[in-house]
């Protein structure tokens, strides 16, 4: 599986993916803080043909806070040209496989109400909407809160 932990050296490519998708606006310092945080799992998906070779292109990334019953998916993205080929699923599984759902672990996330692609993706993977935050985003869009408990 061409998923590995994110390194600081990956950030130019990660920031490029984030910028092109324009779905979030984290700066390099925020990514560095996540990479350094003990409770965070930061992963990238490398082009399978070049996995673990020098300068293999990064096609997606995800950031989780793994805190057992209160884990969170903070960010997940696949570069536009490679979407719908299972990369998001592989990145998501890297985090979900660390959780013990039978033991009561849960994972939460929030997503823009109008982000149909991401909502379909989360629902396909067993996330259920449980609350709405009105006008949560700076542009006035609502956030939908999802959880996965099993
Ligand atoms: C959400 C996202 C990470 C999914 O990544 P992906 O690599 O395409 O995901 P996968 O190929 O593993 O999964 C595909 C599933 O996601 C959903 N999906 C992905 N693209 C979709 C689209 N264009 N239309 C409808 N559903 C879509 C579907 O459920 C699809 O399953 P299907 O092909 O059987 O219908 C990706 O769309 C993305 O990067 N979006 C922009 C960033 C973003 O909004 N991130 C989430 C908010 S933090």
Q: Residue range 19-33: average pLDDT?
A: 96
Fold held by 3-105: Aminopeptidase (3.40.630)
Lowest mean pLDDT, pick from 8-17, 21-30, 49-58, 109-118: 49-58
d(CA 4, ligand 1 centre) in Å: 20
132-148 residue pLDDT tens: 999 999 999 999 999 99
d(CA 150, ligand 1 centre) in Å: 20
CA atoms within 13 Å, Cβ hemisphere of 133: 12
Query: Do the Cβ atoms of 76 and 64 come closer than 8 Å?
Result: no
Query: Residues with beta carbon inside 6 Å of ligand 1?
Result: 21, 23, 75-78, 83-89, 111, 115, 117-118, 120-121, 124
Report the mean per-residue pLDDT for the chain: 95
Pick from 13, 2, 3, 4: nearest CA to 55 = 13
Please work out, in degrees rounded to the nearest 5, the angle formed at the alpha carbon of residue 149 by the alpha carbons of 98 and 42.
35
Closest CA to ligand 1's atom 40: 77
Q: Which residue has the tokens 């930061």?
A: 42
pLDDT at 52 over 80: no
d(CA 117, ligand 1 centre) in Å: 5
pLDDT at 59 over 80: yes
pLDDT at 18 over 90: yes
d(CA 118, ligand 1 centre) in Å: 5
User: What is the pLDDT at residue 22?
Assistant: 94
Q: Residue range 126-130: average pLDDT?
A: 98
User: What is the pLDDT at residue 37?
Assistant: 97
Strand pairing category for 58-65 and 71-78? antiparallel
Q: 55 falls in which pLDDT band (50, 70, 90)? A: confident
- Domain range summary for the chain, segments of one domain joined by +: 3-105, 107-150
Q: Residue 109: count other Cβ atoms within 10 Å of its Cβ.
A: 20
User: What is the pLDDT at residue 50?
Assistant: 76
* DSSP state letter for 8: G
Percentage of the chain lying above the pLDDT 70 cut: 99
């Amino acid at each position: 599986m061409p998923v590995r932990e994110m390194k600081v050296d990956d950030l130019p490519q990660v920031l490029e993916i984030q910028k092109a998708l324009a779905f979030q606006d984290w700066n390099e310092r925020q990514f560095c803080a996540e990479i350094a945080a003990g409770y965070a799992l930061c992963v990238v998906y490398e082009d399978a043909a070049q996995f673990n070779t020098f300068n293999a292109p990064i096609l997606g990334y995800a950031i989780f806070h793994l805190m057992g019953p209160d884990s969170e998916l903070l960010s997940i993205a696949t570069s536009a040209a490679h979407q719908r080929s299972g990369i998001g699923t592989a990145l998501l599984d890297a985090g979900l496989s660390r959780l013990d759902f039978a033991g009561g672990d849960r994972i939460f996330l929030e997503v823009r109400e109008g982000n149909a692609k991401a909502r379909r993706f989360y629902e396909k993977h067993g996330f259920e909407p449980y609350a709405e935050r009105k006008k949560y985003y700076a542009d006035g869009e609502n956030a939908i809160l999802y959880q996965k408990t099993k």
